[in-house]
Structure 1
Amino acid sequence: MTDTSPASNARNYPLLAAPHVHLHGPVDDAMYDTFKSQLVAAPTEGPLVVSITTLGGDPEVARAMGDNIRLLREYTDRETLFLGKVAVYSAGATFMSAFPVDSRFLTRGSRIMIHERQMQSTIELNGPLNTLSYALKAKLHEIEDSINIQEEGFRAIVEGSKVSLEELKKKAPSNWYIEAEEARDLGLILDII
């Protein structure tokens, strides 16, 4: 029987064989706690490798974890490497955006999914008429700020890649699924292992 699978480049990236931080499941407070404890337990010198498998979750938790990575890089000049395994969806892609494109990797067969932020909300208008416009304006400000945060994240995902911000904004409303090979060809990641 002949093996027809593509040759692996895993040996080109030996550091990725043993990530220091392993994250899986929903991006939530529990993942953040796991992330922080594994970060503290990781070696303090040499490149730091973080792997994640997630169908998504809380984008603000993803941004907070990403800020930890950014601050680590900025304060220590330490190299940080991202390894996405199987699924890097939604908030997982938000977390990935904290790593430069030349430090991002996916395992073979993995996919990234990028979409617009979601909101589900009910506005209850109750009170004197002169005060009701404030409730509406507050919700509008929340939406506008969320759009600004989304755009910051989109910029970070595509920075250094062949994908323009406009292209991402065009594809995100319908959930853009990107297979590992396409992500590499678009320069969203450095390579596939």
Structure 2
Amino acid sequence: MTDSTLQKYPLLATPHIRLRGTVDYAMYQTFCDQLAAAPGDGMLVVSLTTLGGDPEVARAMGDDVRLIREFQRRDILFLGKAAVYSAGATFMATFPVEHRFLTRGTRLMVHERQIDSSVTLSGPLKMQVASLKAKLNEIEHSVNIEEEGFRDLVRGSNVSFEEVRKRAPNNWYIDADEARDLGLVLDVI
């Protein structure tokens, strides 16, 4: 990290919002509580360490960040620490590349959304068609949301959407320096 970056972003050393653990509704509540206690103006820093969790909760937290950025015209920086896996990468993707940072040694992990579901067919045949179409619609919609997140993750970087789609099925692990070199984050601190 250059001296000018250190001077421009001194708040990275003392994040206003510190999130750690599973991305779930408990984390969302912690996020909301810390956000409410944060200064009402100026730049904010959100740090995150997670092995993953609920991608919809990550998207909801990201929407809060986006709304603050757009309506309050405030800069909010993301600081990933140690591990930013799965839903953590989904949350990070809601920040513009120029507002993303990782600490040295941090790893990102990007993968496809997962499903653990079974379909039971029982009853009139026409009802089975409707049940199967509903499950297919759920899967197709989830794939669309996943692809929106992938596009957000790589927007402004040197990584193409096709590259992340190709690598995500195998759990793509990216160390901090590689993430910086790929343009997925602004810098490593």
Report the TM-score, using the length of structure 2 for normalisation.
Answer: 0.96
SS at match of 1:61: helix
- State the Cα deviation string for residues 82-126 of structure 1 (Å, max 9, x = none): 000000000000000110000000000001000000001010111
RMSD over aligned Cα atoms: 1.2
Aligned to 2:30: 34
Counterpart residue identity of residue 126, structure 1: S
Aligned to 2:142: 146
Aligned to 1:89: 85
The CA distance in 1 between the partners of 2:33 and 2:143, in whole Å, is 31
The CA distance in 1 between the partners of 2:16 and 2:25, in whole Å, is 19
Counterpart residue identity of residue 149, structure 1: I
Runs of 5+ consecutive residues of structure 2 not aligned to the other structure: none
Aligned to 2:188: 192
The CA distance in 2 between the partners of 1:91 and 1:107, in whole Å, is 18
Percent identity between matched residues is 65
The CA distance in 2 between the partners of 1:190 and 1:11, in whole Å, is 12
Aligned to 1:179: 175
How many residues get paired?
A: 187
1:39 shift after superposition: 0.5
The CA distance in 2 between the partners of 1:135 and 1:177, in whole Å, is 36
SS at match of 1:82: strand
1:44 to 22, 40, 43: 40
1:129 shift after superposition: 1.2
Report the TM-score, using the length of structure 1 for normalisation.
Answer: 0.94
SS at match of 1:16: helix
Within 5 A, what are the aligned runs for 1:1-193? 11-12=6-7, 13-193=9-189
